[in-house]
Structure 1
Amino acid sequence: MSDIGEALTVNRYPGRVLVLARTGDGELTGVYALTGRSPSSKARRIVPGDAELRVEATGEHAHDRLRHYTAAHSDDRWTVFGNGEQVTTVFERLSAGAHPAVALDELDYEPDPPIWTPRITVVVDRRDGTAWLGAARRGGGRRESTDVTVTTLRDLAVGDVALLTTYTSDGTEVTTAPRVLDLTTTAATGDELLDLVWSALDPEFRVAAAQLSPRAGIAAVLRHAP
């Protein structure tokens, strides 16, 4: 397994980034990060709310439901974070009693040809730290139907990292990322993990990032590009 910093450094434009890790202090830590190429994608910020995180436009840029959404929700049982409006859908399904594997099913990729951005989501059970990582991607070749994958993580040892990104890219050519990456980290704390992720993102594309402790709900530490 490679280090998360190395994995993000070689992927110059990862799109949106979801990280779940067990840092050296034993805590389960999440990181959500935004990168962007266009002016509208770069004109975004992460805003904390009441048990949620929102991605909002900055300046005079208009609201766009594919770029601006609630990126994290939390209640007494669940913490959910991801890259689009499906976060609210999954959270509502969980609140209604659905199992996470069911809550993450029947989602679609984003309607943004020609990239067809995947919708990626992390669900954490606050009671025991069990996590589910979901991805809804466009089928390969000419197929337009959605492939939904759900990975259950029963436990992460100290230093283990699961990484989901929407894209794999050299900064010019963009393809959708195919799977969860199993990586490692030497970060001792959530703050260190956030710093590591932030510094690994290409300064040309990085926009914002948030570190959260999923078992504690939404208690975020934020970073924003100047």
Structure 2
Amino acid sequence: MLDFLTLLRENPYPGRGILVSRDLVYYFIMGRSANSRNRIFVKTEDGIRTEAHDPAKLEDPSLIIYHPVRTMGDALVVTNGDQTDTICQHGDFRKGLMTREYEPDEPNWTPRISAILNADGSFEMSILKHKNGRCLREFFCYEGCDENQGYFISTYQGDGNPLPTFAGEPLEVTVPKPEEVWAALNGDNKVSLYTNVNGEVRLFNKNLGD
């Protein structure tokens, strides 16, 4: 099992990341461009959404404004894009994601990462990635996990140009406290963090001084 804080401290740009454990979900966003960094998380009736911190500076909103977290029945859906809405519209994690593919941001072809945490503690994670000009859709199902253990997936392996897509299975990691995760994210690139621990939601936003 990897130490999650060390993993974050040693990687300046994993992009967007999802950590799922039993009764727990963390989701963070990072940014290199001014447009990506000009965001905050705000609560909604059934989850959260991204919002421009300074609307006057908002450029292309298509890939940065979305609902990262929504409830679907008694399950919690978290993703790095508007596929959250697609999953909820289909009422099914896999069926929704089978209609989607990676983001059209050549040359990075940012993958779409998604997860669903069910009421019984089981969960599923997915990544939709570009490979040889086609979309590779990978799904990982877990019956649950031990206490203080989680699984982490991110959009990128690290910084680069183009950005290297996450590879392999979700990483088995330790589960630190929300404030420890926020502190471990790269200070220049981090933007926002959502944490939901046993239903207690906390939001961290760099643009609001967190």
Normalization by structure 2: what TM-score?
A: 0.90
CA offsets 1:40-82 (integer angstroms, 9 cap, x no match): 1110000101012101111113361201101111143221011
Partner residue, 1:32: 27
Distance 1:71 1:170 in 2: 22
Secondary structure of 1:175's counterpart equals: coil
Matched, 1:44 2:25: no
Matched, 1:121 2:129: no
Partner residue, 1:147: 136
Secondary structure of 1:174's counterpart equals: coil
Q: Report how far residue 111 of structure 1 moved.
A: 0.4
Q: Is the 8 A contact 2:4 2:175 kept in 1?
A: no
Partner residue, 1:102: 95
Partner residue, 1:6: 6
CA offsets 1:159-193 (integer angstroms, 9 cap, x no match): 21111111122466621111343333253xxxx2x
Structure 1 counterpart of 2:26, which letter? V
Q: Report how far residue 104 of structure 1 moved.
A: 2.9
Partner residue, 1:203: 187
Distance 1:136 1:184 in 2: 22
The partner residue of 1:157 within 135, 143, 146 is 146
Partner residue, 1:61: 57
Q: What is the Cα-based RMSD across aligned positions, in Å?
A: 1.8
Q: Is the 8 A contact 1:164 1:179 kept in 2?
A: no
Partner residue, 2:203: 222
Distance 1:137 1:172 in 2: 17
Structure 2 counterpart of 1:174, which letter? L
Distance 1:10 1:70 in 2: 28
Partner residue, 2:75: 78
CA offsets 1:175-224 (integer angstroms, 9 cap, x no match): 1111343333253xxxx2x12221221101011101014x74xx520111
Structure 1 counterpart of 2:126, which letter? G
Distance 2:160 2:195 in 1: 24
Structure 1 counterpart of 2:205, which letter? H
Q: Which has the higher mean CA deviation after the structures are superposed, 56-65 or 128-137?
A: 56-65
Secondary structure of 1:14's counterpart equals: coil
Q: Report how far residue 105 of structure 1 moved.
A: 2.2
Secondary structure of 1:198's counterpart equals: helix
Distance 2:35 2:202 in 1: 23
Q: % of aligned pairs identical?
A: 25
Distance 2:29 2:11 in 1: 13
Q: Report how far residue 110 of structure 1 moved.
A: 0.2
Distance 1:186 1:93 in 2: 31
- Structure 2, unmatched stretches of 5+, are none
Q: Is the 8 A contact 2:39 2:52 kept in 1?
A: yes
Q: Is the 8 A contact 1:48 1:220 kept in 2?
A: no
Q: Is the 8 A contact 2:72 2:88 kept in 1?
A: no
Partner residue, 2:125: 133
